[in-house]
Amino acid sequence: MLYLIPFVGAATVLFVVFRRRYLSSISDIPGPFLASFSVAWQLWRIIKGDIDRQCSKLHEKYGHFVRISHEEVSVCHPDAIRQILLNPLHKSEWYSVVALPDQRFQTPMSTLDPKTHAQRSRNLAAGFAMTHVMKSEPYVDDAIRLLKSRFSEFSDRKSVIHLDHWFNYLAFDILGEIVFSQAFGFLEAGQDLGGSIANSKALTLYVTLAGFFQSIHRLTLGNPIISDRKLMPTQHIFDTTLRAIDNRQKNTQVRKDILSLWMKQREESPEKFSEKELYGCVNMTVGAGADTVSASLQSFFYHLTRYPQHLAKVKKEISDAGLTDDVISYTDAANLPFLQACIKEAWRMFPPVPFALARVVPASGVTIEGHYFHPGTKLSVNPHVIHYSRELFGDDAAEYNPERWLGPRAKEMDRQFIAFGAGFNSCQGRNIAQLEIYKATATIVRDFDFKQVDPKQDWKYDAYFTATPYGWPCYVQKLR
């Protein structure tokens, strides 16, 4: 009888493959062969680091709907954002993995249903509110001032600078100030202290893949027994968070930072905000708020060095506005329309989260362009795919053209702009990101010029859940 086992195993696999490929409610949706019966295509493209570009190519070939796994359809359609992200639908199981280091550390991001998500988000709202974030502006100024002085050193020495490193140091240090009342010290040290930045890339790849294997993840590396022994690959970022909390306790000059507001919230309603949840949320904030900002700043300068006409125009706008403060204020930067268009276009060209934001079709089903999707199907919207759609952004969608945000179609395109996601799960740190990015771009573009060591060399990046470019060394020249 034993000799039958391989045959029964093979027959079962063939049956599952046949059923998924030919008898599923999404069998009529085109896509790669592997995706018609498994998640193998997604895993392979994530490991290759090009899932965003591959998805865009497939939409170019097949149109509005592409089957990217046996149970998931990527949608690139004028109604996609309204029907899928704003609806609001439950998030796919994938998101559970972002409870780090294990499932006891729940956050809004790891929460799948919109109701519980809203309740968890309320705990964090005061800390992320613009009125509170703005109180940190002087400390953001300090960090930008320090970055300027480090850039000046590179300029004086005429040595090569890697902006991916320096923008990450800036973003981490600002997070430290805003969340823990103290910079992490990356800018001061001029290096990746403790390998935090290098590790966060490995962590992102691990998390992006582990999201497809929740049960295995929870039984193995995402198991409390493992995480309590600090053996998790995700441990590094958690250690960074714990160290920052520890240092904050010793700090006699703690301000009313984000952590103080969240701790107050927990004191008032401990039943609604557990200690583990608080730690999870701090961890999520540190994890979400550095690479994304570094990617945004890089995209701004990378594209402007390649489009001198836009660079000249943004410099002129700042000069005409007579902004002479050593660090330009948030309000002044927010009032420069062309600068704002350049920033937005940088986000459009390079959304720092270039991954399928997947939601689950509810019992009532979802119909898009007459196509009925059955309950349980995963529908996803990928910011990169949407932003590069010629149907949504015009024939020049692949071109960096900030003028598009000042033209007659700007409002219409704005509805398709999803660098920060959309709906209940959209980015809660957007105010912080905007504060630092508006100020840093305005100040640095006014005070420095960058030239790529090899102007023909494209940057590199690996698209996991987030993506941060690298590999475009520059020379920097101080202007004032």
Q: Which residues bind ligand HEM (CB under 6 A)?
A: 108-109, 121, 175, 284-285, 288-289, 292-293, 296, 352-353, 357, 419-421, 425-429, 432-433
Least distance to ligand HEM, CB of residue 285, Å: 5
Least distance to ligand HEM, CB of residue 20, Å: 26
Least distance to ligand HEM, CB of residue 373, Å: 18
- Identify the CA nearest to 222 among candidates 66, 96, 57: 96
Least distance to ligand HEM, CB of residue 227, Å: 20
Angle between helices 291-306 and 430-447 (to 10 degrees): 40
Least distance to ligand HEM, CB of residue 121, Å: 5
- Identify the CA nearest to 463 among candidates 383, 379, 389, 352: 352
Q: How far is CA 469 from the centre of its chain?
A: 12
Pick the closer one to ligand HEM by CB: 37 or 405: 405
Pick the closer one to ligand HEM by CB: 243 or 430: 430
Beta-bridge mates of residue 428: none
Put residue 415 in one of left, alpha, beta given phi > 0 → left and psi -120 to 50 → alpha: alpha
Pick the closer one to ligand HEM by CB: 20 or 97: 97
- Identify the CA nearest to 124 among candidates 435, 466, 429, 436: 429
476 SS3 class:
strand
Task: Report the amino acid identity of residue 60.
Answer: E
Pick the closer one to ligand HEM by CB: 37 or 176: 176
Pick the closer one to ligand HEM by CB: 154 or 346: 346
Ligand-binding site membership of 76 (annotated): no
Pick the closer one to ligand HEM by CB: 235 or 292: 292
Q: Are 469 and 460 in contact (CB under 8 A)?
A: yes
Measure the CA angle with vertex 171, ends 294 and 236; round to 5°. Answer: 95
Q: Are 357 and 383 in contact (CB under 8 A)?
A: yes
Give the Cα separation of 330 and 435 in Å (integer). 6
Instruction: Select the residue whose beta carbon is closest to ligand HEM and give its number.
Output: 429
Cα separations in angstroms, 59 against 38, 51, 73, 360, 381: 19, 12, 11, 20, 12
Q: How far is CA 141 from the centre of its chain?
A: 24
Q: Is 219 exposed, middle or buried (0-12, 13-18, 19+ CB in 10 A)?
A: exposed
Give the Cα separation of 69 and 463 in Å (integer). 18
Pick the closer one to ligand HEM by CB: 286 or 397: 286
Q: Are 408 and 436 in contact (CB under 8 A)?
A: no
Least distance to ligand HEM, CB of residue 15, Å: 35
Q: Terminus-to-terminus CA distance in the chain, angstroms?
A: 83
Pick the closer one to ligand HEM by CB: 155 or 176: 176
Least distance to ligand HEM, CB of residue 182, Å: 15
Angle between helices 291-306 and 337-349 (to 10 degrees): 110
Give the Cα separation of 161 and 425 in Å (integer). 36
Least distance to ligand HEM, CB of residue 209, Å: 17
Token digits of residue 429: 């740190």
Least distance to ligand HEM, CB of residue 468, Å: 11
Least distance to ligand HEM, CB of residue 163, Å: 15
Rg of the chain over Cα atoms, rounded to whole angstroms, equals: 23
Pick the closer one to ligand HEM by CB: 289 or 469: 289
Pick the closer one to ligand HEM by CB: 37 or 342: 342
* Binding-site positions: 427
* Binding-site positions for heme: 427
